[in-house]
Amino acid sequence: MAATSTIDKIKAYAFPTVLSILWMFIYRDITEMKSDIKMLLQQSSVDKTKIENLERIMYGRKSTAMIIGYEHDKYFKHEEFYNIKKYIL
């Protein structure tokens, strides 16, 4: 009987101790994940702002390039400089 009561006492103290240690490891991992997620969200917002600025710049230049290209094609056609029928056929 003395052996079983000793084992029961060990189980009674060991189980909560093991659970407490496991909870400490889990809690540490959770807090680390929370801090990493916060950092990634901040970086994501910075990246999103940079992308929006780059899109604004690119669309602005693209529209200007399209206008310049349109004007160029309107006044200078390649047929005026190089006649395909003359040199190929």
CA dist., res. 14 & res. 47, Å (int):
49
pLDDT at 65: 46
Cβ atoms within 10 Å, residue 15:
10
pLDDT at 33: 96
pLDDT at 37: 95
CA dist., res. 38 & res. 84, Å (int):
63
Q: Per residue of the chain (89 residues), give pLDDT as tens.
A: 566 788 888 888 899 999 999 999 999 999 999 999 999 999 999 899 888 888 888 777 655 545 454 444 455 555 555 566 665 65
The model carries a pTM of 0.48
3-state SS, one letter per residue, for 15-70: HHHHHHHHHHHHHHHHHHHHHHHHHHHHHHHHHHHHHHHHHHHHHHHHHHHHHHHH
